[in-house]
C-alpha cells in the first residue's frame, strides 16, 4: 500500500498540471484588456487611460503565446501569488484563505448528521425489507432525491425564517459580526462556533449555530436520500451472502449478524459516496451558499465565474483539483482498511 500511496502522490503534480492547463487555455477567449484586470487593483483600473492599459498589457506579456503566459502564472503560483481577484477586491490567495474556514465549518456540521442518519435509515430499511418502515423510508428517499436543493432551501427559509423567525440567512447577525471583527475577539481556529466557545461567548456561538441550521438541513435532505439508497442496496446484497446465512443458521443473535458481519462489508460502496460528499462540501455548495447568503468557496467561485474573474477561477480550480485528488487517495486507502481483499500493490 505504501508504494501505491507514493505513486499517487508523485502523480499529483502531473494531474494538477493538466487540469490547470486545460482551465488556463479557456482564458484564450478573453481579450488582453479583460485579463489585465487580474493584475491591477480595480479602484485604479478605472482611472487608467488606454495608453496606460496598453503598457500594462505589454508589461505583463498578455499578448505573449499561451505557453509563455501559463508558465509565468505557474511560477507565481509556486511563490504563492495567484493574482488579483476583481470579485473579492483582494489577492486570490487571501480570498481563498478567508473563505475556507466558513466552508469547512459548514461541511463539518453537515457531515455528521448526514452520515449518521443516512446510514441508519439505509440499514433500517434493508433489515425491514418490504415492511411499512422500508416503504416509508424509500418514499422519503424518492421525494428527497427528486426535490431540487434550491427549492428545499427556499422552503426552509420560508418556514423557519419568514414565518417562525428561527434560522436566519447569512453567517452572523450584525451585532455578532461587529464583535467578531473587533480586536477583543481572538480568532484561533477561524471557525466561528469554536472560536466563540474559546472566547467564552455563548451568545455568538448560538447565533452562528442558528445561521448554520438552515444550510445544514438543506444539504442533509439531499444527501440523506442518496446515502440511504446506497446503504440499503449494499446491505441487501450483503445480507444475501452465504456467510450471513451461515451465521444465522448457527444461532448468532440478529443484532450481531447485522452490525458485526453485514454492516462493515456493506460500508465499502458507502465510503465512496461519503468521500465524494465530503469533497463536495469542502469544495463549496454553491446553491446553498447563495440561497442563504453565506460566505464560502462555492459562492466565491460562482461570483468569479459570472464576473469573468479568471484569476479567481484559476485559483479556485487549483484548490478544487488538489482537494479532489487528495480526497480520492484517502478514499482508496479507506477501501483497503475496510476490505483486506482489496490489494493496492
Residues 172 and 109 in one domain: yes
Q: Considering Cα of 119, then 121, then 124, then 128, what sign does the dihedral take?
A: negative
In this predicted structure, which of 2-6, 20-24, 121-125 has the lowest mean pLDDT? Answer: 2-6
| Closest CA relative to residue 88, chosen from 323, 282, 295, 284 | 295
Residues, the chain: 345
| Closest CA relative to residue 180, chosen from 205, 150, 159 | 205
- 3-state helix vs strand vs coil in the chain, percent to 5: 75, 0, 25
- The confidence score (pLDDT) of residue 111 equals 85
**Under 8 Å CB-to-CB from 230, ≥6 apart: which residues?**
122, 269, 270, 273
Residues 105 and 78 in one domain: no
Query: How many CB atoms are closer than 10 A to CB 299?
Result: 23
Q: Please tell me the total count of domains within the chain.
A: 2
Residues 96 and 75 in one domain: no
Q: What is the mean pLDDT of the segment spanning 42-61? A: 72
CA distances from 4 to 7, 299, 325, 339, 340 (A): 5, 35, 14, 16, 15
Residues 137 and 248 in one domain: yes
CA 266/CA 272 separation, integer angstroms: 12
Residues 26 and 127 in one domain: no
CA 305/CA 285 separation, integer angstroms: 15
Residue 4 pLDDT > 70, yes or no? no
Summary mean pLDDT of the chain: 81
| Radius of gyration in angstroms for the set of CA atoms belonging to the chain, rounded to a whole number | 24
**Under 8 Å CB-to-CB from 53, ≥6 apart: which residues?**
33, 36
Residues 272 and 192 in one domain: yes
| pLDDT band at 205; cut points 50, 70, 90 | very high
Residues 126 and 189 in one domain: yes
pTM assigned to the model:
0.77
Residues 158 and 300 in one domain: yes
| Closest CA relative to residue 278, chosen from 150, 143, 106, 118 | 106
Residues 146 and 216 in one domain: yes
Which of 35, 59, 82 is where one domain is finished?
Answer: 82
CATH number at residue 324: 1.10.3720.10
Q: Are 288 and 10 in contact (CB under 8 A)?
A: no
Label the pairing between strands 84-85 and 90-91.
antiparallel
Residues 165 and 277 in one domain: yes
* Domain of residue 155, residue span: 91-342
Query: How many CB atoms are closer than 10 A to CB 158?
Result: 11
Residues 232 and 313 in one domain: yes
**What pLDDT, in 10s, does the model give residues 263-307?**
777 777 777 777 777 777 776 578 888 888 888 888 888 888 887
Three-state DSSP at 90 gives strand
Residues 105 and 229 in one domain: yes
**Under 8 Å CB-to-CB from 250, ≥6 apart: which residues?**
none
In this predicted structure, which of 1-10, 120-129, 185-194, 302-311 has the lowest mean pLDDT? Answer: 1-10
**What pLDDT, in 10s, does the model give residues 212-225?**
998 988 888 888 88
Q: Are 121 and 137 in contact (CB under 8 A)?
A: yes
Q: Are 170 and 299 in contact (CB under 8 A)?
A: no
| pLDDT band at 23; cut points 50, 70, 90 | confident
Which of 82, 109, 142 is where one domain is finished?
Answer: 82
CA 111/CA 119 separation, integer angstroms: 12
Backbone angles phi, psi at 50, to 5 degrees: -65, -35
Which of 65, 82, 99 is where one domain is finished?
Answer: 82
CA 90/CA 255 separation, integer angstroms: 56
Compute the C-alpha angle 40/42/46, nearest 5°: 105
Q: Are 309 and 85 in contact (CB under 8 A)?
A: yes
**What pLDDT, in 10s, does the model give residues 108-142?**
888 888 888 888 888 888 888 888 988 898 888 88
Bridge partners, 326 (sequence order): none
In this predicted structure, which of 1-10, 134-143, 170-179, 331-340 has the lowest mean pLDDT? Answer: 331-340
| pLDDT band at 206; cut points 50, 70, 90 | very high
Q: Are 12 and 326 in contact (CB under 8 A)?
A: yes
Amino acid at each position: 500500500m505504501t508504494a501505491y500511496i507514493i505513486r499517487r502522490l508523485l502523480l499529483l503534480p502531473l494531474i494538477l498540471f493538466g487540469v490547470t492547463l486545460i482551465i488556463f487555455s479557456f482564458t484564450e477567449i478573453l481579450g488582453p484588456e479583460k485579463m489585465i484586470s487580474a493584475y491591477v487593483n480595480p479602484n485604479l483600473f478605472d482611472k487608467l487611460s488606454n495608453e496606460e492599459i496598453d503598457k500594462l498589457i505589454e508589461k505583463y506579456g498578455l499578448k505573449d503565446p499561451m505557453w509563455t503566459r501559463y508558465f509565468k502564472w505557474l511560477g507565481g503560483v509556486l511563490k504563492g501569488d495567484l493574482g488579483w481577484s476583481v470579485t473579492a477586491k483582494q489577492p486570490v490567495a487571501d480570498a481563498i484563505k478567508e473563505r475556507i474556514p466558513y466552508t469547512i465549518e459548514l461541511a463539518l456540521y453537515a457531515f455528521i448528521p448526514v452520515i449518521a442518519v443516512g446510514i441508519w435509515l439505509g440499514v433500517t430499511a434493508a433489515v425491514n425489507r418490504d415492511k411499512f418502515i422500508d416503504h416509508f423510508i424509500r418514499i422519503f428517499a424518492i421525494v428527497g432525491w427528486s426535490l431540487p436543493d434550491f427549492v428545499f432551501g427556499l422552503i426552509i427559509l420560508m418556514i423557519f425564517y419568514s414565518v417562525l423567525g428561527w434560522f436566519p440567512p447569512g453567517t452572523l447577525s450584525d451585532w455578532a459580526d461587529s464583535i467578531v471583527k473587533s480586536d477583543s475577539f481572538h480568532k484561533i481556529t477561524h471557525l466561528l462556533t469554536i472560536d466563540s466557545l474559546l472566547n467564552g461567548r455563548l451568545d455568538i456561538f448560538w447565533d452562528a449555530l442558528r445561521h448554520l441550521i438552515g444550510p445544514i438541513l438543506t444539504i442533509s435532505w439531499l444527501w440523506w436520500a442518496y446515502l440511504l439508497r446506497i446503504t440499503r442496496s449494499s446491505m441487501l446484497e450483503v445480507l444475501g451472502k452465504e456467510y450471513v446465512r451461515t451465521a444465522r443458521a448457527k444461532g448468532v443473535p440478529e443484532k450481531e449478524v447485522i452490525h458485526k458481519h453485514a454492516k462493515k462489508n456493506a460500508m465499502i460502496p458507502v465510503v465512496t459516496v461519503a468521500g465524494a460528499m465530503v469533497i463536495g462540501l469542502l469544495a463549496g455548495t454553491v446553491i446553498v451558499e447563495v440561497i442563504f447568503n453565506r460566505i464560502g468557496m462555492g459562492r466565491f467561485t460562482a461570483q468569479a465565474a459570472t464576473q469573468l474573474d479568471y484569476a479567481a477561477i484559476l485559483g479556485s480550480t487549483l484548490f478544487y483539483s488538489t482537494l479532489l485528488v487528495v480526497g480520492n487517495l484517502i478514499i482508496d486507502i479507506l477501501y483497503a482498511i475496510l476490505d483486506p481483499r482489496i490489494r493496492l500493490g
